[in-house]
Amino acid sequence: MIWAAVLLASAGCFGLKLAGWSVPAHWLDRDRLQRAAVLLPVPLLAALVVVQAFAGDRSLVLDARAAGLAVGLLLVLLRAPFLLVVVAAAVTAAVLRAL
Amino acid sequence: MPGRPLTEPTDVPDPATDRAARRAVVRDAVGIGVAVGAYGLSFGAAAITAGLSTAQASALSLLVFTGASQFALVGVLGAGGSVVAAVAGALLLGSRNTLYAVRLSSLLPLRGPRRVLAAQLTIDETTAMATAAPPRLAGTAFWATGLSVYVLWNLATLLGAVGAARLGDPAVLGLDAAVPAAFLALLAPQVRARQTLAVAVAGALVALVAIPLTPAGVPVLLAGLAVVPLLVRR
């Protein structure tokens, strides 16, 4: 099943890219469409943050992931580099679980 | 330049300046590739954490080659979401590449195999570099950035996946907490404006409400609806 997802996403994402190179430019040259495509990743990424941090099995849970995320948020606000944000979140959760 | 009126301003500088400008573009392209490598490392680790194999993680980076879509796919699969929900999330996040391609095709008139190759390299970084470069260097900027990011993204994915697979239980290492932090770091540069911040908060709230009510993966898709009010009200 995972391979099916990998291959479908591969074909689909490549198709989306090639389509833009192949269709006449004016087809997609619309203000609203441009705004939608530029903005769409924002709520999706925000939802992924929430899902990855707080989702249990059809429930909301508050565990070490949330603490890791809080540390990550603090570092993001301080404009820390990507890798530091990610590693600090992991270390926070790992330390809390080891206690 | 033959046949060109002398009064017309030309954007082609002397050869030495041109070489320097090209070198600067290539240097930036390598720098971007190295920065993207950090995301690649965490993607490889995230994929293993979600239960993918190293081969599957590498296949995603080689074939999908658009970071946010890849992260979304493994995130949804890792949370127990269906193939349909995982792929739909990846495609929604990948749809902006279509518009990038439209812009790039007006800058770089390519045909045949080159166009297919360029399509695979159409992502945030290559589009940003090609559109920011002076028009005569757009091609150099696009291909140099594409090559650099493709090679380093794939190497980093492999390293991250192999590393995470060797380290053992992802939860003990806190790798499951690294994934939401990675999404947050991807999101942060995009929400500097108040309006986009509002869209991000709306998306997060929709997801929070949807988590207990819908199957895994669906909350992420529903959050996409947060852009609708902005599109209706001009």
pLDDT at A62 over 90: yes
Question: What is the spatial distance between Cα A1 and Cα A24, in angstroms, rounded to a whole number?
Answer: 36
- Cα dihedral: B30, B57, B59, A81 (round 10): -20
What are the residues facing A1 on neighbouring strands? none
The single-letter DSSP state of residue A27 is: G
pLDDT at B3 over 60: no
Report the residue of B87, B110, B221 to disrupt the A interface, i.e. the one with the largest count of A CBs within 10 Å.
Answer: B87
Assess contact for B38 and A82: CB atoms under 8 A.
yes
Find chain A residues with C-beta within 8 A of B64's C-beta: 6, 9-10, 13-14
pLDDT at B5 over 50: no
Q: Is A99 near chain B, with CB under 8 Å? A: no
Ramachandran bin of B51, using left for φ above 0, alpha for ψ from -120 to 50, beta for the remaining angles:
left
Determine the average pLDDT of the residues in B24-48. Answer: 88
Please give the model's pTM, rounded to 2 decimal places.
0.81
- Sorted by sequence, the CB contacts under 8 Å of residue A72 that are 6+ apart come out as A85, A86, A88, A89, B177, B180, B181, B184, B185
Q: What ipTM does this complex have?
A: 0.87
List, in sequence order, the alpha helices (H) in chain A: 2-22, 31-39, 41-54, 64-77, 82-98
- Chain A residues 41-80 with a CB less than 8 Å from chain B: 41-55, 57-60, 64-65, 67-69, 71-73, 76
Structure confidence by residue, pLDDT tens digits, B47-76 = 999 999 999 999 999 999 999 899 999 999
- Sorted by sequence, the CB contacts under 8 Å of residue A28 that are 6+ apart come out as A20, A34, B98, B99, B102
Residue with tokens 């820390």, as numbered in its chain: A80
Report the residue of B96, B159, B190, B218 to disrupt the A interface, i.e. the one with the largest count of A CBs within 10 Å.
Answer: B96
Question: What is the spatial distance between Cα B15 and Cα B3, in angstroms, rounded to a whole number?
Answer: 20
